[in-house]
A and B are shown apart, each in its own frame.
Chain A
Amino acid sequence: MFAAIARVFRTPDLRRKLLFTLAIIAIYRLGVYIPAPGVDYSNVQQCLAAGNTTGGLYQFVNLFSGGALLQVSIFAMGIMPYITASIIVQLLRVVIPRFEELHKEGQSGQAILTQYTRYLTIALGLLQATTLVSLARSGMLFPACDLPIVPDDSIFVIVLMIFTLTAGTGLIMWMGELATERGVGNGMSLLIFVSIASGFPSAMGAIATSQGWGVFTGVILIGVAVIALVVFVEQSQRRIPVQYAKRMIGRRTVGGTSTYIPIKVNMAGVIPVIFASSMLALPSMLVQFNTGSDGTLPGWAMWVQTNFSGSSPLYMATYTLLTIGFTYFYVAITFNPTEVADNMKQYGGFIPGIRAGRPTAAYLEYIISRITFPGALYLAFVALIPLVAFVLINADQNFPFGGTSILIMVGVGLETVKQINAQMQQRHYEGLLR
């Protein structure tokens, strides 16, 4: 293992890529600690120390930005606008026929779609920056803290802050793209990985100090078990055998090989969980907006607050159902059996025992819907871990080992190691992991 790591650094090409990625990550983390202009840094720190943030959606977004959001730093938006933009563009494929056309066009169409995503990212970044700055200005960001976060709130400074935060969003996006292009792994997902991982030590420390070392050890053990489970399920796939007919193209024989279509148990990744939790954050946001100035709540808001806050059974049930529903929805969007069947037919491939064309599509659809069921249950289970932990040991909502964070961490980690492996096998035949 260690010899393999040493070998990674002895390969000049790979070393350059790794160092580039590390440099990008370092710049990103550095930017998280630079406050946006106009923000009083010491006041923000005092408010942060006082705790009691608004929770809910902010907590979730804060997780993705690695704590930058609540510090109102120049990278406060983090990678979230890009994630939202790419989800929106992907979903619009179902709604707008032109997007679907572009997607099918191959490389050039994809490039145009990516360009749309980038414009949308800047637009969303502008929107979210405006929201954040107005929240910070009115003191809504830290309701329990009455120190002014933005001391000089003239319109000029406010506009300047919004511009700076938007430029920060763009810069993060570009850094992610650079890391994808010249570094190891996918830059965007690595930046998310770093943001989430940076919250780990403090979360673990909080558990250790508030719950004692016994609970701490328990949490670590559960964490290792969950990671093992996630790795196991992420790697498991069903292989549908495909036989390609031998053909003559010119003077060459093509095909005649047998391969397989790998169908992962969890094809949807973490996105259903992200969807479900952001959907469920909406009711509590509504409550927040409807809270009167003296802290009283209308009747329905009371009901929502008791039934849709973290640990209530109704919340958990809705969360599970939404996650399962979104898993099916997302798999249906990303994997199109008819398209795959048509492609196979075009290149003379068939699944042994199944006729090409429509029977193949039906067969693929049958397999997909069956294999997605355990995948959806697994996703719901992993997503519920932090909620259950919340009840059992009174942990923070951002319980480190569970839900979105663990899925993203493991997913990104596996992907990156796989890419390093592939790079190494070009030279040495022996990868980082066997």
Chain B
Amino acid sequence: MDVIKLVLQILLGITSLLLTMLILLHKGRGGGMSDMFGGGMTTSLGSSGVAERNLNRVTVVLGLIWAAVIIGLGLVMRFSIES
């Protein structure tokens, strides 16, 4: 059980870091605060290039792995307490 836990924890560390990096690579949308509550025009240009679309895909996959690892860790923890 401890081996699985350690592997999952290391995996979680790596995916967390990668996910943060990838998200920072994205181009920001939305213009911050005045946009959020003050109204105003959001002109979102819908032209996302191939690079951006691939980045989206990679980020989504990584996000899924990240969530799965967290859930897995939670399960491991849960069962190790009971046993």
State whether these chains interact.
Answer: yes
Residues of A within 8 A of B (CB): 31, 34-38, 40-41, 74, 83, 86-87, 89-90, 107, 110-111, 113-115, 117-119, 122, 156-157, 159-160, 163-164, 166-167, 170-171, 173-174, 176-177, 180-181, 186-189, 192, 267-271, 334, 408, 411-412, 415
| Distance of A334 Cα from B31 Cα, bound (Å) | 13
Closest chain A CB from B44 CB (angstroms): 5
Q: How long is the Cα–Cα vector from A412 to B36 in the complex, in angstroms?
A: 8
A11 and B29 CA atoms in complex are apart in Å by: 25
Q: Does the CB pair A83–B33 fall under 8 Å?
A: yes
Kindly supply a per-residue 1/0 record for chain B positions 1-40, scoring 1 wherever the CB is within 8 Å of any chain A CB and 0 otherwise: 0000000010011011101100110111111111111110
Q: State A412–B28 Cα separation when bound (angstroms).
A: 20
A117 in complex: contacting residue of B28, B67, B77, CB < 8 Å: B28
| CB-nearest residue of chain B to A176 | B30
- Interface contact A171-B38, CB-CB below 8 Å: no
Instruction: State in angstroms the CA–CA spacing of A157 and B6 once bound together.
Output: 10
Contact A170 to B37, CB < 8 A, known contacts A117-B32, A163-B16: no
Residues in chain A near residue B36, CB distance under 8 A: 83, 86, 186, 188-189, 192
Contact B30 A269 (CB under 8 A): no
- Binding site secondary structure of chain A: helix
**Interface residues in B, total, Cβ within 8 A:** 40
Q: Closest Cβ of chain B: how far from A265's Cβ, in Å? A: 13
Q: Which of B13, B19, B29 contacts A170 (CB 8 A)?
A: B19
7 A-B pairs within 8 Å (CB atoms) are namely A37-B70, A37-B73, A41-B74, A86-B36, A163-B17, A167-B16, A188-B36
Other than the given A114-B30, A117-B32, 12 more pairs (CB < 8 A) read A34-B74, A37-B73, A41-B78, A83-B36, A163-B16, A166-B20, A167-B15, A177-B26, A187-B30, A268-B38, A271-B33, A334-B38
Given A74-B70, A186-B42, A269-B37, A114-B31 contact (CB < 8 Å) = yes
Residues of A within 8 A of B26 (CB): 174, 177
Contact at A180–B70, with CB atoms within 8 Å?
no
Asked if B23 and A174 make an inter-chain contact with CB atoms under 8 angstroms apart, the answer reads yes
| Inter-chain contacts of B16 with A (CB < 8 A) | 160, 163-164, 166-167
Q: Using Cβ atoms and an 8 Å threshold, which residues of chain A touch B12?
A: 37, 160, 163-164
Contact, CB under 8 Å: B23 / A171: yes
